[in-house]
């Protein structure tokens, strides 16, 4: 990933290349990436990538190259996709998980959040349950967790401090990948069932919240007129939906070719629980 991203970035930044030469080099790099993925997938016991339909996957790679950057949009989950699962052998927190170690929260609240995670996370990843069966449990998990956080009177400044010190780490190569997208003005839509406030603050901390990046997620509503008032729990919602819904909500064109990273299939179960945002997700 890092090698391929670096190679693409070098092609993108070279002013001496003609459009045809740059296109040919990009195709060569993408072909190399596909061969690498294909080789990795052949050994089922050790593979980190599995391909169900090789020919269909090859055609998608070809479409990415032939359509050009103007027809591409990247859609990505955040937790354990843009962020790491482990760093230096230690499991890193998710957007919600950062509060379990937050010194600003009471010990009883942190214990409550840990209890809720231990109770509901096995349901989220249970392969024997249908999406419809998971929905009520997931909604209850988010509602109870948020109520616990709100009960501690968390404020905007405290949240910013928590995010700075949370130990959440981005995956290797993410900065280079994000810069490549920014250079080519390719939209990056971060579509997450986590906390949008946390994601935005993290992106800002890593200098990655650029003009081509948009976040569609759950947001907390802070009262700027009264800084001592805790965030409202009424706007902490689960948001998901089809392409048409995203277009309406973000006033952004969802392009025809979408390269999706990571998002677990059970996140799509949230479609039925769309509610209004506190504000436009665009800055």
| Selected residue with higher pLDDT from 228 and 122 | 122
- Model-wide pTM > 0.75: no
**CATH at residue 148:** 1.10.150.340
Instruction: Assess whether 214 and 112 both reside in one domain.
Output: yes
Q: How many angstroms separate the CA atoms of 142 and 233, rounded? A: 11
Return the pLDDT at 243.
44
Q: Which of 13, 35, 67 is the last residue of a domain?
A: 67
* Least confident stretch, 9-18, 124-133, 145-154: 9-18
DSSP 173: T
Q: How confident is the model at residue 20 (pLDDT cuts 50, 70, 90)?
A: low
* Model pLDDT for residues 194-211, shown as the tens digit of each residue: 888 999 999 999 999 999
In this structure, are strands 86-87 and 90-91 parallel, antiparallel, or unpaired? Answer: antiparallel
- Is residue 61 located within the same domain as residue 92? no
In terms of domains, do 276 and 180 share one?
yes
Q: Cα separation of 4 and 97, whole Å? A: 32
Whether 47 and 98 share a structural domain:
no
pLDDT value for 48: 79
Residues 272 and 236 in one domain: yes
Q: Are residues 208 and 259 in the same domain?
A: yes
Which positions are catalytic?
Answer: 77, 79
Please count the structural domains in the chain. Answer: 2
Q: Is 221 helix (H, G, I), strand (E, B) or coil?
A: strand
Indicate if 88 and 172 belong to the same structural domain. yes
3-state secondary structure of 138: helix
Residues 40 and 58 in one domain: yes
Whether 229 contacts 203, CB under 8 Å: no
Task: Report whether pLDDT(98) > 70.
Answer: yes
Final residue belonging to a domain, choices 18, 34, 67: 67
Residues 55 and 178 placed together within one structural domain of the fold:
no
135-157: pLDDT as tens digits: 889 888 888 988 888 888 778 88
Share of the chain above pLDDT 70, in %: 68
* Last residue of one domain, picked from the residues 17, 51, 67: 67
Query: Which is more confident, 29 or 208?
Result: 208
pLDDT at 110 over 70: yes
**Hey, which bits of 104-203 come out as E strands?**
188-195
DSSP 278: S
Same domain membership, residue 93 and residue 22: no
Q: What is the DSSP string of 14-69?
A: -TTS-HHHHHHHHHHHHHHHHHHHHHHHH-TTT-S---S-HHHHHHHHHHHHHH-G
> Chain-wide mean pLDDT for the chain?
74
> φ, ψ for residue 16 (rounded to 5)?
-85, -15
- The whole domain housing 18 covers 1-67
23 and 163 both lie in a single domain: no
């Amino acid at each position: 990933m890092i090698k391929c991203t670096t190679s693409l970035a070098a092609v993108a930044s070279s002013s001496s290349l003609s459009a045809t030469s740059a296109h040919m080099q990009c195709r060569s790099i993408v072909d190399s990436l596909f061969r690498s993925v294909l080789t990795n997938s052949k050994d089922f016991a050790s593979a980190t990538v599995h391909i169900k339909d090789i020919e269909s996957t090859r055609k998608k790679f070809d479409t990415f190259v032939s359509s050009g950057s103007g027809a591409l949009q990247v859609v990505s989950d955040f937790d354990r996709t843009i962020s790491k699962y482990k760093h230096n052998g230690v499991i890193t927190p998710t957007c919600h998980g950062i509060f379990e170690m937050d010194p600003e929260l009471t010990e009883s609240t942190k214990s409550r959040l840990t209890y809720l995670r231990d109770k509901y996370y096995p349901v989220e990843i249970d392969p024997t349950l249908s999406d419809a069966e998971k929905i009520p449990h997931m909604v209850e998990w988010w509602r109870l967790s948020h109520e616990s956080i709100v009960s501690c009177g968390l404020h905007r400044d405290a949240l910013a401090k928590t995010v700075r010190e949370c130990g959440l780490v981005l995956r290797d190569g993410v900065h280079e990948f994000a810069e490549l997208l920014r250079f080519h003005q390719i939209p990056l839509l971060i579509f997450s069932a986590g906390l949008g406030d946390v994601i935005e603050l993290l992106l800002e901390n890593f200098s990655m919240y650029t003009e081509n990046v948009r976040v569609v997620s759950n947001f907390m509503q802070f009262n700027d007129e009264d800084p001592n008032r805790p965030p409202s729990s009424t706007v902490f919602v689960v948001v998901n939906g089809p392409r048409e819904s995203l277009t309406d909500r973000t006033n952004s064109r969802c392009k025809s070719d979408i390269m999706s990273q990571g998002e677990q299939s059970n996140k799509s179960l949230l479609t039925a629980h769309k509610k209004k945002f506190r504000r436009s997700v665009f800055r």
